[in-house]
Structure 1
Amino acid sequence: MSQTVAEAIASALLRHGVGFIFAQSNPTALMLAAEAAGIRQLLYRTENAAGAMADAYSRVSNRIGVVAAQNGPAAALMVAPMAEALKASIPMLVLVQEVPASQRDRNAFQEFDHFALFAGVSKWTRRLDDPDRAAEYVDHALMAANSGRPGPVVLLLAKDMLLQPSSPLGAERRQALGGFPLDRSRPQSESVEEAASLIAGAESPVVIAGGGVHVSRAVGELARLMEVGQLPMATTNMGKGAVDETGPLSLGVAANLTGENGPAGPYRDLIAKADVVLFIGTRTNENGTDAWTLTSPDATYIHIDVDPLEVGRNYEALRVVGDARSAIADLTAALERNDLGKRRQCAPQLKARISSGREVRSQAIASMCRSDATPIMPQRMMADLDRLLRPEDIVVADASYSSAWVLSYLTARRTGQRFLTPRGLAGLGWGLPFAIGAKLARPDARVVSLVGDGGFAHVWAELEMAVRENIPVLVIVLNNSQLAMQKHGEALGFGRTTTGIDFGPVDHAAVARSAGAEGVRIENPAQLAPALEQALASGKVCVLDVISSAEAFAPLRIFDAQADKLVVA
């Protein structure tokens, strides 16, 4: 049966399991064809937010998110969320309209060099120039996005091309390529055996698991490795939830949150003195390693990652290159072939130390978590939320302090619980879009988003989308009328701040109500628990506008013993 290019693309997307496209009606021919094929169009308000929605959808579902955008300025607004996805190894298919071929290089309306635009943020960028290859190019795009180290890709579609007939040559394409990882490469057996021997013989090994564990869906294998090897395990910021943080061997999130009152603060010495360090699925980036100071330069390093360029980037390491799930399974099997007597002998004392550290930290933060002070301490709000969360809930956060509060003060109560934070590039404003994408991926889960008032203002228009499309999420706004983390950083580094810190007062609850959502302003800590319970049970889009302290600071190690310097008159 004859199809247009637009219809061929829509059919290919349907074959790959795509159920909806984040779009704003362009490219129109494609969106008409997609809707006719049964693919839902989710109308966003800004492309920047749409990219973040697709990112979060992919992170939770392990299926590629698809965004469509008009050429020129709309396409340009996709760059920031694509950069986050590229850094975080999250696939995304971006379908971008282009001017007709006959108008190319003539300064047509909104004509732009999209190849140059996306060069730094896309794994694969192609323009469809042959109408008979439409389905083939969709397949190529998904193979590029979902294989190896996943990432965003771009398919450029000229308006006139979409209307041409498409008659593909050769056999009909039948494969479904929408999930990732598309392939599961295995590491070299020699490297695996050497890694197992190093771990079995170590005096004090430690594992640091990153976001690649979630991307690979390797949390079950990671738990098995921890149990077999009796290995203490910390996570990076993006790795949170890969380990059950109530377990006896969990050190919690380490990364740059090992300061006073940080989740891994009591274990800083344990991590620093590890003689063998196993990295899994991490870029060993600045925040993930506390500026490369978390572990000893004298340690022996083993690094599991699907990207060979990340292995050894910052730490010379035994190279175990392959898919995280495959590599962890192989390593566990190899470990079982070794003498694990030393690991079992150390386990009781190690678990006791971890338990003791957990209790020390609990006591250290107790007063803040029970504080009745106003404006409300973020720690109090997080403690009330933590008591109400279930293991199947999903929590997302914006960048800056919002991420730090979630990573430090909420507990992963099961292996694989999801906490999404934009730590690839840490752009501000993605908390609400992340919540929308996560809820679309897991409609049965309660989804909570923690944002600051600075970041929320970037995207609050997307509340209207969430209400219109019936995507119920809870958004908690820490409203302190300023960029608090920026203020504290400037105060610490310069002893003063610029004038670009403070905002005028905004009633975010009223903003929510104006878009059709529920909006509640909270000024007293006693209001927190009842408001949270009601919002979580409502099944509606809810915004809790929490008037919070501007002087509270997260447990970043750079802030240790610096409290007096963080307060600027």
Structure 2
Amino acid sequence: GRPRGMEFIMTRHESAAASMADAYCRVTGRVGVCCGTVGPGALNLAAGVAAAHNDGIPMVVITPQVHSNRCYPFKGSQQQLDQLGFFKPITKWNALVHCWERIPEMVQWAFRVATTGRPGPVHLDICVDTLFQVKEEEGVKLPNPERYRPLNPPAGDEGALEGAVELLVKAERPLIHAGGGVLRSGAWEEVRELAEYLQAPVTTSVSSRGVLPEDHPLLLLPKGAGAIYAESTADVVLCVGCTMAELEYWGKPPLWGDPAAQKFIQVDIDPEIIGLNREVDVAVVGDARLVLRKILEKVKEVTGPSPERITNTQYRQAEKDALAFVEEAARSDAKPIHPARLVREAVEFFGREAIVAVDGGNMGLWAVNGVRVYRPRSFLWSTDMGMLGTGLPFALGAKLAYPDRPVYVLHGDGAFMLNNHELETAVRYNLPVVDIIGNDRAWGMIKGAQHTAFGDRYIGVDFGDTRYDEMARAMGAFGVRVEDPADIRPALEEAVGSGKPAVIDAVIDCQVNLEPPLFQTYLEVALMDCDLSGCNP
């Protein structure tokens, strides 16, 4: 028969398909593609597409539409829906395709828009009668990408580059803050070289972890005490590929310096992002990798390498002091299992080459604080959307891209249940990821928020004691329940040794899980400007 070309991966739910395409793009840098069926199936894609849109992940989303002479406006067709209108706010661009001749053109335009400027998802809605038209391939022209979309992004205005260099070489406490645009551009080596030359500490957004190995002496862990100390006291900040949104506290004091005293250089491929949340002193519109190369060249022309700065030692000490309680918790032998111990066991077992997908609320915060990332594009989390249920689909997308690398998930039982059916997908395609569940039998983050506001009065947050290990075995995967921290490592060894997709159902301390690291900080930001006087702790 005819060659099929690309491999088609069938999921059990369209939302998972979108998240798998998202993760494939995050770990490879290549555009992800997903599709769903008409009407309800298209709606099911939406959550995953919206998460990719918020994080700037290029994706081509394809949906079928009812017959071209019966589609929106309403004609009473079964499963008829204004899919263009529905996807419009969560994509960069979308279009309805009425005739087969335009499919190549529309696909080319879709990839062009998805990858140009700030990346993001695009959507093609194709009428079903168009899909069933049979035509000869000879009449279809398929030009190379360089013939229909720009492959050389802008590298920054010379005047702006000079202004950035002038501030950086004069700075006493420079800081480089690297966002997701650094990973999308592949600019991690440029960040390292510039940081080492200037002896500037590097902080990252949560989504861009792995820009530098997290044991590099200049890297400060995101949202940690060392990072906040550096971000609030730097006299010059070079912000690269970051929107400075809510998780960055919009670039405002007290987590960042006073704009009157702290100079801010912002580099972004999208001019609409610059100055969006924090006023800038120098704006550089361009690709992160190309701009950083130019800045480094110009810095070297006017100054030699900086000696180590005493402030860097102070930042690292602040980070170490603040993490002392997490380090102690990670050695806990308590039963039920301490979430920090569960995370530490996984990190040490899987090692530096692993890809980790973090998902969920409070268990996700324990993971964010306990995980260490050593390679770019190896940490997966739905950052800006905060979407639950992405963990397992993210892991499957990553495993499809890198079958020889270890891939594991860290999340809570609530998040696991939102896409647990994709274990069958993992079994069917022989994708041996390890799914580690911190089982507190609750919506941990919501319960923690209720605990903060109302003491021990809870509503709508507690689950029954479900055996997720048995569920995994029923789908053909490996499954084991762990209740003693001494059994975590043997369970991990057995899971990997099985050669199957695996679930480790670890029973964690539900009281400890009510307040993970940074929980109160996130809660304060989320409830900012809310009147809490009616709460009764």
TM norm structure 2: 0.91
CA–CA separation in structure 1 for the residues paired with 2:363 and 2:251 = 20
Q: Which residue of 1 aligns with 2:271?
A: 308
Deviations 1:48-94 (A, max 9, x none): 11111110011111111111211111101111111111111101111
CA–CA separation in structure 1 for the residues paired with 2:31 and 2:19 = 13
Report deviation, 1:382: 1.3
3-state SS of paired residue (1:247): coil
1:214 is the counterpart of 2:174: no
Asked if the contact 2:220/2:316 (under 8 Å) is kept, the reply is no
Higher mean C-alpha deviation, range 154-163 or range 400-409: 400-409
The one-letter code sitting in structure 1 at the alignment partner of 2:243 is R
1:326 is the counterpart of 2:290: yes
CA–CA separation in structure 2 for the residues paired with 1:521 and 1:479 = 10
Q: Which residue of 1 aligns with 2:119?
A: 150
Deviations 1:187-217 (A, max 9, x none): 1111111111101111212121111111111
1:49 is the counterpart of 2:16: yes
Change (3 A) 1:208 1:159: same
Counting only pairs closer than 5 Å after superposition, residues 163-562 of structure 1 correspond to structure 2 as 163-166=132-135, 172-176=141-145, 182-254=151-223, 264-289=224-249, 292-293=252-253, 294-298=255-259, 299-317=262-280, 318-340=282-304, 344-345=306-307, 347-361=308-322, 363-414=324-375, 416=376, 418-495=378-455, 497-552=457-512, 553-556=515-518, 558=520
Change (3 A) 1:176 1:511: farther
CA–CA separation in structure 1 for the residues paired with 2:443 and 2:378 = 26
3-state SS of paired residue (1:432): helix
Deviations 1:314-341 (A, max 9, x none): 1111211111111111111122122257
Gaps of 5+ in 1: 1-32, 255-263, 563-567
3-state SS of paired residue (1:329): helix
Change (3 A) 1:473 1:73: same
Asked if the contact 2:440/2:507 (under 8 Å) is kept, the reply is yes
The one-letter code sitting in structure 2 at the alignment partner of 1:74 is G
Q: 2:27 aligns with which of 60, 84, 89?
A: 60
Report deviation, 1:530: 1.7
Q: Which residue of 1 aligns with 2:5?
A: 38
Report deviation, 1:447: 0.3
Report deviation, 1:374: 1.1
Higher mean C-alpha deviation, range 549-558 or range 294-303: 549-558
CA–CA separation in structure 2 for the residues paired with 1:269 and 1:138 = 47
Q: Which residue of 2 aligns with 1:27?
A: none
Q: 1:88 aligns with which of 48, 55, 58?
A: 55
Aligned length: 517
Q: 1:79 aligns with which of 39, 46, 53?
A: 46
Change (3 A) 1:530 1:182: farther
Deviations 1:11-41 (A, max 9, x none): xxxxxxxxxxxxxxxxxxxxxx9x8533222
Higher mean C-alpha deviation, range 365-374 or range 352-361: 352-361
Report deviation, 1:175: 1.2
CA–CA separation in structure 1 for the residues paired with 2:523 and 2:75 = 61
Higher mean C-alpha deviation, range 163-172 or range 134-143: 163-172
Gaps of 5+ in 2: 525-535
Change (3 A) 1:453 1:111: same
Q: Which residue of 2 aligns with 1:10?
A: none
CA–CA separation in structure 1 for the residues paired with 2:100 and 2:21 = 27
CA-based RMSD: 2.5
Report deviation, 1:289: 3.1
Report deviation, 1:485: 1.2
Deviations 1:153-179 (A, max 9, x none): 1111111111224468988323148xx
The one-letter code sitting in structure 2 at the alignment partner of 1:325 is R
Change (3 A) 1:537 1:217: farther
Report deviation, 1:490: 2.4
CA–CA separation in structure 2 for the residues paired with 1:491 and 1:406 = 21
Change (3 A) 1:41 1:388: same
CA–CA separation in structure 1 for the residues paired with 2:498 and 2:118 = 39
Asked if the contact 1:432/1:475 (under 8 Å) is kept, the reply is yes
3-state SS of paired residue (1:270): helix
Change (3 A) 1:163 1:268: closer
Asked if the contact 2:27/2:398 (under 8 Å) is kept, the reply is yes
Asked if the contact 2:226/2:316 (under 8 Å) is kept, the reply is no
TM norm structure 1: 0.86
Change (3 A) 1:304 1:443: same
Deviations 1:422-445 (A, max 9, x none): 002011111111101111111111
Higher mean C-alpha deviation, range 446-455 or range 124-133: 124-133
3-state SS of paired residue (1:337): helix
3-state SS of paired residue (1:445): coil
Asked if the contact 2:182/2:240 (under 8 Å) is kept, the reply is yes
Change (3 A) 1:559 1:483: same
The one-letter code sitting in structure 2 at the alignment partner of 1:117 is F
Deviations 1:208-255 (A, max 9, x none): 11111111111111111111211101111101111211111111112x
CA–CA separation in structure 2 for the residues paired with 1:291 and 1:558 = 19
Change (3 A) 1:425 1:267: closer
Q: 1:124 aligns with which of 93, 105, 110?
A: 93
3-state SS of paired residue (1:243): coil
Higher mean C-alpha deviation, range 392-401 or range 531-540: 531-540
